[in-house]
Amino acid sequence: MNNKTAKAYPTKTFFVTMITRDITFEDCILDLIDNSVDGASRSEGNPPINLDDGDDLSKYRISIVASSDKFSITDNCGGMTLNNAADHAFSFGRRTSEAYDAYSIGVYGIGMKRAAFKLGRNIRVRSTFTDTDGSRTAFVVPIDVAEWLNNDDPPWDFDIDDAEDLDENGVEVVVQELTREAQTALGNPEFVENLRRIIARDYSLYLRRGLNILVNDRAVDGISIELRKSDEFVPMRNHYEDELEDESDPENKKVSVEIIAGMAAPPPESTEPDDKIDGEKGFGWYVACNGRIVLAADKSAVSGWGTPNWPQWHRQYTGFIGIVLFTASNAAALPLTTTKRSVDVSSNTFIRARLRMRDVSKRWIAYTNARKYNLANAKKKEDKAAVISIQNVENQPTIQLPMIPKQRIERRANVHYSVPVSKMKQLAKGFGSIQMPYREVGLKSFEYAYEDLVEDE
């Protein structure tokens, strides 16, 4: 049994069918947008993206066209260089030799390939960039998936051909021969509308800086997250530096964390579900990694609800918004999942942040409990809190919420008795109307006796 080895080479089919399985079409498209956003950041010198006003990104445009027979995304964000395409961009997984761009969203080296394979079978990635000698260069990487799948033998590569320049430096990804599932999704106007909503939310920090994202020729407006503030309701804004334990390079260890949280809207008066106002939707915890929102309005165990010492989300907690921003020059330090649709709950950086999040959530839970006993007083205070955008929230170690004085609630006695109907009707007549409901007759007779026997004493 000597000199035997077990083959461990991957197959192409694995990459085309398996890695595309656990991601939605929306998230695939977001992966392509992420690459364009990273391109824009690169062109701007890789600034960190946080809540502060930063570089103006209004000269950058990402345009997505989705239909049942074709998908394309085109950006003017600087383009991919020929060297990058040859050595890195089309590899499955990032090579250790490949340096990270500071503050990038891209981490794993898989997003673009996974997105293209998920969408279709005929892929063209075209890039135009300005080379180091100042000349403009264009190339295209055409991928015929069926043909490429024919042979698993290494080396695996894609041809790079000459191409016509794009109008501006940037990248264009065109996918045709869409998969059957992609045809159905992309041809559905509701899918496109939902995609717009997701983009408006998840790139809100970039859209705020002027970045243009268009879906089927219509610009997407970013949402703005707002809280409420008054003397008594003060949102928190707390910033701290976290460090990875398992990273030796001091520069690669650092993750900057900012938590902003507070009342975004008064909690509901009743905890009964109300279909008319879809009240709960935007509330809960948000998480952004290098500016990209990866978890939105979360009410699940991911952001802590229903985990030890933390109750399940309940309608009563509606009105709360918290956002945690993780920013790291080394994107691998961020607590992201590969689909960028959630956080890696095993990340110690995230676990440490969650302890702080729990403290904040608990304060809010306590407030929503207290207000139930004196709703009128609480509502008066809540009405005084004015809208403030999260950007304008000042530093404050934790959320401040008013003390609601407990209103003394009188204990009530319920009475139930039965009497002959004829007598009841006569008494009703005595009180002025034979039609008077029995309940009212009961109450009136109580008041009558009370006045006579108690108050006149």
Ligand X SMILES: Nc1ncnc2c1ncn2[C@@H]1O[C@H](COP(=O)(O)OP(=O)(O)OP(=O)(O)O)[C@@H](O)[C@H]1O
Binding site for ligand X (CB under 6 A): 31, 34-36, 39, 75, 77, 79-80, 84, 89, 94, 106-113, 171
Minimum Å distance from CB 107 to Mg ion? 8
Of the two residues 110 and 325, which places its CB atom closer to ligand X in the complex?
110
Residue 214 CA to residue 75 CA, distance in Å, equals 10
Q: Cβ-closest residue to Mg ion?
A: 111
Of the two residues 34 and 172, which places its CB atom closer to Mg ion in the complex?
34
Tell me whether the omega of the peptide bond preceding residue 405 falls within 30 degrees of 0, making it cis.
no
Q: Cβ-closest residue to ligand X?
A: 106
Among the listed residues 67, 72, 74, 73, the one whose alpha carbon sits nearest the alpha carbon of residue 185? 67
Of the two residues 214 and 365, which places its CB atom closer to ligand X in the complex?
214
Of the two residues 24 and 68, which places its CB atom closer to ligand X in the complex?
24
Label residues 428-445 b or e (16+ Cβ within 10 Å = b).
beeeeeeebeeeebbebe
The secondary element (H helix, E strand) that includes residue 129 is: strand 120-130
Minimum Å distance from CB 154 to ligand X? 19
Task: State how far the alpha carbon of 167 is from the alpha carbons of 42, 217, 277, in Å.
Answer: 19, 17, 46
If you write DSSP's letter for every residue of 367-401 in order, what string do you get? Answer: HHHHHGGGHHHHHHHHHTPEEEEGGGPPPBSS-B-
Minimum Å distance from CB 316 to ligand X? 38
111 forms part of the interface with Mg ion (CB under 5 A):
yes
If you write DSSP's letter for every residue of 152-214 in order, what string do you get? Answer: -PSPP----EE-PPPSSSEEEEEEEEE-HHHHHHHT-HHHHHHHHHHHHHHTHHHHTTT-EEE
36 forms part of the interface with Mg ion (CB under 5 A):
no
Give the interface segment with Mg ion, choosing from 76-84, 100-108, 199-207, 441-449 (CB under 5 A). Answer: 100-108
Number of amino acids touching Mg ion (CB under 5 A): 4
106 forms part of the interface with Mg ion (CB under 5 A):
yes
Residue 92 CA to residue 117 CA, distance in Å, equals 12
Minimum Å distance from CB 109 to Mg ion? 8
Of the two residues 234 and 331, which places its CB atom closer to Mg ion in the complex?
331
Write the burial class of residue 116 (CB in 10 Å: 0-12 exposed, 13-18 middle, 19+ buried): buried
Among the listed residues 37, 71, 317, the one whose alpha carbon sits nearest the alpha carbon of residue 187? 71
Binding mask 373-412 for Mg ion (x = CB under 5 A): ----------------------------------------
Q: Which position among 20, 35, 127, 204 is part of the footprint of Mg ion (CB under 5 A)?
A: 35
Residue whose tokens read 């069918």: 17
Of the two residues 76 and 339, which places its CB atom closer to Mg ion in the complex?
339
- Residue 242 contact among ligand X, Mg ion, none, beta carbon within 5 to 8 Å by kind: none
Of the two residues 89 and 263, which places its CB atom closer to ligand X in the complex?
89
Minimum Å distance from CB 224 to ligand X? 26
List contacts with Mg ion (CB under 5 A). 34-35, 106, 111
